Structure 1
Amino acid sequence: MPWILLLVSLFCAPLQAASIPGITSDATPTQTSPEPDAAQKKAAYAALADVLENDQSRKELIDELRKAAATPPQEPVPGLTPPPVEEQKTVLENITEVSSRYGEELASRFAQLYRNITGSPHKAFNPQTFTNAATHFLMLAGLVFVFWLLVRFSVSPLYRKMGHWGRKKNRERSNWLQLPAMIVGAFIIDMLLLALTLFVGQLLSANLNAGNRTIAFQQSLFLNAFALIEFFKAILRLIFCPRFPELRPFRIQDETARYWHLRLSALSSLIGYGLLVAVPIISNQVNVQVGALANVAIMLFITVWALYLIFHNKKAIQEHLNHLADRSLAFFSLFIRAFAFIWHWIASAYFIVLFFFSLFDPGNSLKFMMGASLSSLGILSVAAFLSGVLSRWLNKTITLSPQVQRNYPELQKRLNGWLSASLKAARFLIVCATVLLLLNAWGLFDFWFWLTYGAGEKMVDIIIRIALILFFSAVGWTLLASIIENRLASDIHGRPLPSARTRTLLTLFRNALAVVISTITVMIVLSEIGVNIAPLLAGAGALGLAISFGSQTLVKDIITGIFIQFENGMNTGDLVTIGPLTGTVERMSIRSVGVRQDTGAYHIIPWSSITTFANFVRGIGSVVANYDVDRHESADKAGQALKDAVAELMEMEDIRGLIIGEPSFVGIVGLTNTAFTLRVTFTTLPLKQWTVRFALDSMVKKHFDLADVRAPVQTYQMLPATQPAMPQPPAEPTL
């Protein structure tokens, strides 16, 4: 048994210390037995042989081994790892880090360029091979250029006829599409001729490469460069068109067009054939160092020449762009003026970036810059076209039929307002998308990844949701407001206008509806863009409670005004007396009423301050006329004169139409020491009682004078003095 334990300890302990399941490398280390020496190993081997020979001891050894295998491993001790501490950097530190990173990258690129010039392995120059390759290359280039010039010269009469016909049709305002079609057609013909020339060039290259791969490779370089450069020149011809001014899409003078076409074509030829043809051939046939130096020399010359052209023509181009902005739409004028202010800096940055790119990667830099430039031109062209279409639509208005305008007075104005706002929002989105696509074209922003997998997908979803919310809110408000306005207007069948009470209530309901729809729309839009509106709603409830306590008078005004309106107490245009004020109601809101006196004074009276009021426009008007006559006059004579005056008044047609029924003669209604009073009453139309009273007073004055009826005269009774009066001093004379 001790031998068995010794064997288990010798063979299992090192194994457990080396790789026991469940024990990780970062667990707490355990103590291990020391390594046995050679004598102990020999004794253990002999004991193992003895144990294996004995059946009982072999069984005990197997049991011990199974027990050791069934023993569970020790649980690892968990360790506490503190969270990593992120160092907060300032803005200046971030700028310094970015600058140092890009500075190191730029320095490494310059170091690599220096190693290419100085440390690249030299290649033995073989004049015979170079001459043979150059001969075949020049033969292909000459034949391609000759064929290209011939085919372009052969279609020159066609270009001239197309331009003449397009200009002739363009003078007719109804035929505006022919000239753009001819311009695009000329560009398509240029592309077809270029494709034909490349096809012929491929055939010539297959027969002029002498079965040499190097010559075939150089000729393929030339054909690729020729295709790229002539495509760019075709775009220049599309813009400037120096030989055929009739096909020129812009108003550019012939001299200016030839100037810029010649120089930009020369720049593109130097850049293309220099970087894509000359530099690779020199590096392959002569030396890598010479090719690198040639690349630097070519790009330095091109950059200096381009900067000279930019700043030499800076002022002229700026003036031309400003003149173009004056003739453009307001939306484009802003961008053109901004571009005129900074165009020289953009152009300078373009050629400087091209210079550095060509130093580090001559083969791919030009392709990248040309591709980015063409993509930018295409993006700007499409964006300008779409923005121009939207801008022209903004100047147009929707005109409804006279019948619809009569039934819905504000519908046309509201539809044009919504359309204008929608087009402006679409134009703003086009500008934003254009900026993102331009950044994507220059490799500064991955627009498609952002739109598909990044935050752009969420943003587009939010924009669509907000657009739908605003659309349905606008449609709902337009429908409801139009229905209310239809009730406020008369129709083509002569439907009478609603009463002043109805107009007031409908106007108040429309205003309340506008507030409700606007509030709900704003809340939903805020929730869509990620704003938690629960605190806003809670705050609005608390604020409403505070306002309700602090503005009890306002609430009282609103409630009182609503009940007065439902009771049809007064309406706009009524003549009312509110307290000491008498005037015409000009405005009624949910809080107050505006009254204009006959003196012109305008009073705003809160509803809550109105306890009682009189309305003179409720069904009828009444005239109660009292006339005082001298006590000594005959009552019959005075009464007959009054009846004659009323009879003549009733014969006046304009006054008779204002009187309802017949006048009522009451007779004598008052008697004093000096006079008696006669009364006559009339029932008139609302607000016509003063007209009838003024006419009646004139007639009464006329007939009282004819009948010699005197008005009461004030008399004084002189009583005798009870005692002699004291002599009074003479009064002083006065002036």
Structure 2
Amino acid sequence: MTVHKRDRYFFFSWLFRSCLVLLLGCGLLSYAPARADTPTTGLSQQDAQQLLNVLNDPQKRDEFTKTLSLMAKGLPAAPKTQAKTAATSTDSAAVIDNSVHSELDDLGNTATEYVNNFTSLFTDLGKVGTWFRHEVQNPQSRQSLLDSFGRALLIMVLALAAERAASIGLRKPLTSVKKLAEAREARQTAAQDQTAPLPTDADADTSTDTEADTSQTREKDQRRGNEVLRYLVRVPYNALHFLLKLLPVGVCLLLGYLGAEFLTSTDQARTVALTLVNAYAIARGLYLIIETILVPRSPAIRLVPMPDDTARLLTRWWNVLVAAPSIVICLSILGREFDLDTQGVEAMMRGVVLIEHLIIAAFIWRIRHIVARALQPSPGLRKNALWAFAGTLAKLWWVPIIFLDMALWFVWAAHLKGGYQWILHGTLLTFLCLIVSRVLALLVYGLQDRLFRVGPELQAQYPDLQKRADFYYPYVRKIMTIAIILTTAVCIAQSWSIPTFDFFLHSALGLRLVGAVVCLLIGMTIAALAWETVNSILNKQISRYSASAQEARAARLRTVLPIIRTVLLTVIIIFVAVTTLSQIGINVTPLLTGAGILGVGLSFGSQSLVKDVITGFFMLAEDAIQVGDWVTTGGIAGTVEHLSIRTLRVRSFDGDLHIIPFSSVTSIANTARGFNQIIVRQTLDLSEDTGKVVKIMQETIAQMRKEDGFRSMIFSDYTDLGVDNSDGNGAVLVGIIKTAPMMKWKVQREFYRRIALRMAAAGIKFFTPTSYSTTPPNVPMHMALDAMPTGPQDDTPPPAAPTPAVEQPAAPKPQPPRPAAHE
């Protein structure tokens, strides 16, 4: 027989009911009471056994699975030829249907119970009226009530009078404690004003934006740390103030117990008196706890930073709110004492708690503006759209709080098992987590400020250490802030029964996340320490070279320093990234393999780039050139303006900037190293006395070396190298002058200027080249470079004899311009 329609009906029926159970039972089943008459499972023993038989039989299990698969695909199930198989499927569907029905019945019973518990608040109050009328109409019970409450009220009046008298007697000690706290506060404020550094205009002008932000952050953290210490110092005065305020309450409690023992004649009167005294003492003690923390009349003892009017407002409202616990205690004890029905007592207690929650809602409405102003972000943050939106939402903080306040009462009034305790427990732990995290943040920031302050000895040994510490200060502070926020969020989630601790401490994913974060922090710390250690060693080595007059080594190390830092930073980033990725769970082996293959491919494809880098590194390592040197390389002469690992930038004399890759540099002529030499060449007439010319040049250099402007530039006198050549072009006299680096052009120009005048005065004859030319016959003589005359005419006389032309000096060879820099 075919049973696919029935199977499909049961399947979809089970699916729909299961979804309904999940949607309706998420909130209520967690608080549903475990009842003894309700089975712990929706399956009966017989249904469970039938389902187990189907699952244990491979043939039946396969047929049932195939049927469900066809139904899921929207196809008709295969026809069953065996009645036994059809019966098995029917039994399985029946088992599932019974389970769903059982779960829905339990859920409905639980919801009905909660609704009945809530509505009983209004029906049970009638029992209270019935009990009161019965007690008043009965003369014996009426007399008992009047006697008990009359004596109890008399005892309370006497106890309150004694409390008032004790409070008046303790006014003087309270005033002394207040004066001592104010004197200590004044001394502490004066000491802080004397030790607080004042910012100067010079500091403001020389400090950068980063340094200013770091300084402001450190000042803010230090100020907050001082505030915490300031309030911690108030604790002894606050504790003494609390004890003095609690002493009259103890007198009231003592007289109440004595009055209940000696001024009552019945057990009911004694119970009523003790109940009223205890309720008043509890309410008064709760009030004194908050009053001691706020201390509206003694700001020097207050433990919470707030204005005086806010402290007075909170204290007045708290004095009203503490009455509800006392009334609840009285109702719970006196109801049982005078035979009031338990349901009536609970109804009155729920009514009192409702009034308490309404008062709390009114209090929240009263302070909504105060809290909204406190929650607003700073004006600087409000420029950001996100923070501005957060500030707008902060003005509506009271809406969810009032909803939570009333939800607490509804949960408690409906007797949701564990609901009221769960919300109250989560709320209190949330406030506790926020307070602890705030205090912890202030302590951690204060500890960071102390750790990042370098002492005078270390400052003298490492002058840049404080600057480097200030550089890392904001980053470390952000990391600690994020850690505190995340820890607080995890604790708050745990306080609301969300198993965050189990997730981060026991689950595989949580442990992996925690391990990755810890590994990243350790890697960043090691990287920062390695970076600072290497930089400190290199800077200290440069300082050592400079102090020992090894400027060449210092300059070489200073030139290579950027390359070393770049390589070190690259290695650190790769190390931290690979380590973090491996801790997260990403397999870095393919990544490293791909990076190696890519590096090999790039090295083959960009050989010139590799050659640039390698040549540049060795050029810089060997200190062949430096920024500011005058070099000649690649056919370009000029001043070195910038050096990188790949290129050389040279500014020529005409102002053009030449960017030369190191692969094109085959040789470098560096004019700025060691010394320079001026090669002096004078072409004299063959009849001139060379000794006379040498003497003039020697005297000129000797005179220049005596002058302050040239004394440090000229390293030697004029050195005569003799006559280099003597022929029909004259005698070439050669000599050299050794000068300081980059100073040869200035010395050369001044030297030639001076000897020109002296040689002219001495009548020195220089070789002047001459040229001879002839003119054709019958052509007059003409000057060189003039236009040639026209050819001879028929009627012109015969040409005259050749006449030598006028001598013309040969045009001088153009000299390359000399740089005027570095004079």
> Which residue does the alignment assign to 1:582?
637
Deviation at 1:435, TM superposition (A): 3.1
Equivalent positions of 1:223-302 (< 5 A) are 229-249=283-303, 252-269=306-323, 271-278=324-331, 281=334, 285-287=339-341, 290-291=344-345, 294-295=348-349, 297-302=351-356
Pair 1:532-2:587 in alignment: yes
Shift in CA distance, 665/136, structure 1 to aligned 2, threshold 3 Å: same
Deviation at 1:234, TM superposition (A): 2.7
> Which residue does the alignment assign to 1:430?
484
Equivalent positions of 1:23-422 (< 5 A) are 80=61, 82=65, 109-115=114-120, 117-118=122-123, 125=131, 126-127=134-135, 128=141, 134=149, 151-173=166-188, 174=191, 178-187=233-242, 216=271, 229-249=283-303, 252-269=306-323, 271-278=324-331, 281=334, 285-287=339-341, 290-291=344-345, 294-295=348-349, 297-319=351-373, 341-345=395-399, 347-361=401-415, 375-392=429-446, 398=452, 400=454, 408=462, 410-418=464-472, 420-422=474-476
| Contact 1:558 1:590 survives alignment (8 Å) | yes
Shift in CA distance, 566/382, structure 1 to aligned 2, threshold 3 Å: closer
Shift in CA distance, 323/289, structure 1 to aligned 2, threshold 3 Å: same
| Contact 2:702 2:717 survives alignment (8 Å) | no
Shift in CA distance, 569/158, structure 1 to aligned 2, threshold 3 Å: same
Larger deviation, residues 457-466 vs 693-702? 457-466
Helix, strand or coil for the counterpart of 2:187?
Answer: coil
> Which residue does the alignment assign to 2:539?
485
TM (norm. structure 2) is 0.63
Q: How big is each residue's C-alpha offset from its partner over 1:215-246, in whole Å with a ceiling of 9 and x where there is no partner?
A: 85x78876776566445423321343234444
Aligned AA for 1:608?
S
> Which residue does the alignment assign to 1:665?
720
Shift in CA distance, 394/691, structure 1 to aligned 2, threshold 3 Å: farther
Shift in CA distance, 341/496, structure 1 to aligned 2, threshold 3 Å: farther
Deviation at 1:557, TM superposition (A): 1.6
Unaligned runs of 5+ in 1: 1-22, 29-74, 88-100, 327-332, 727-735
Shift in CA distance, 517/617, structure 1 to aligned 2, threshold 3 Å: same
Equivalent positions of 1:506-585 (< 5 A) are 506-585=561-640
| Contact 1:595 1:604 survives alignment (8 Å) | yes
Q: How big is each residue's C-alpha offset from its partner over 1:618-647, in whole Å with a ceiling of 9 and x where there is no partner?
A: 433121134567899876765554444334
Deviation at 1:363, TM superposition (A): 12
Pair 1:693-2:698 in alignment: no
Deviation at 1:109, TM superposition (A): 2.8
CA RMSD of aligned residues (A): 5.1
Deviation at 1:262, TM superposition (A): 1.1
Deviation at 1:155, TM superposition (A): 3.5
Aligned AA for 1:109?
Y
Shift in CA distance, 723/117, structure 1 to aligned 2, threshold 3 Å: closer
Larger deviation, residues 140-149 vs 693-702? 140-149
> Which residue does the alignment assign to 2:498?
445
Shift in CA distance, 531/458, structure 1 to aligned 2, threshold 3 Å: closer
- 1-side partners of 2:568 and 2:242: how far apart? 58
Deviation at 1:478, TM superposition (A): 2.8
Shift in CA distance, 292/76, structure 1 to aligned 2, threshold 3 Å: closer
- 2-side partners of 1:164 and 1:595: how far apart? 77
| Contact 2:408 2:420 survives alignment (8 Å) | yes
Helix, strand or coil for the counterpart of 2:741?
Answer: coil
Percent identical among aligned pairs is: 21
- 2-side partners of 1:208 and 1:432: how far apart? 60
Helix, strand or coil for the counterpart of 1:617?
Answer: coil
| Contact 1:466 1:525 survives alignment (8 Å) | yes
Aligned AA for 1:707?
A
Question: How many residues get paired?
Answer: 636
Deviation at 1:166, TM superposition (A): 1.0
Equivalent positions of 1:558-637 (< 5 A) are 558-597=613-652, 602-627=657-682
Shift in CA distance, 199/556, structure 1 to aligned 2, threshold 3 Å: farther
- 1-side partners of 2:236 and 2:283: how far apart? 25
Aligned AA for 1:681?
I
Aligned AA for 1:389?
L
Deviation at 1:476, TM superposition (A): 3.2
Deviation at 1:114, TM superposition (A): 1.3
> Which residue does the alignment assign to 1:43?
none
- 2-side partners of 1:706 and 1:482: how far apart? 64
Q: How big is each residue's C-alpha offset from its partner over 1:369-407, in whole Å with a ceiling of 9 and x where there is no partner?
A: 776665444433332222223344556674556775576
Q: How big is each residue's C-alpha offset from its partner over 1:196-226, in whole Å with a ceiling of 9 and x where there is no partner?
A: 876776777777897859985x788767765
Shift in CA distance, 287/644, structure 1 to aligned 2, threshold 3 Å: same
Shift in CA distance, 104/243, structure 1 to aligned 2, threshold 3 Å: farther
Shift in CA distance, 622/170, structure 1 to aligned 2, threshold 3 Å: same
- 2-side partners of 1:435 and 1:195: how far apart? 41
> Which residue does the alignment assign to 2:758?
703
- 1-side partners of 2:304 and 2:156: how far apart? 34
> Which residue does the alignment assign to 2:806?
none
- 2-side partners of 1:469 and 1:228: how far apart? 55
TM (norm. structure 1) is 0.70
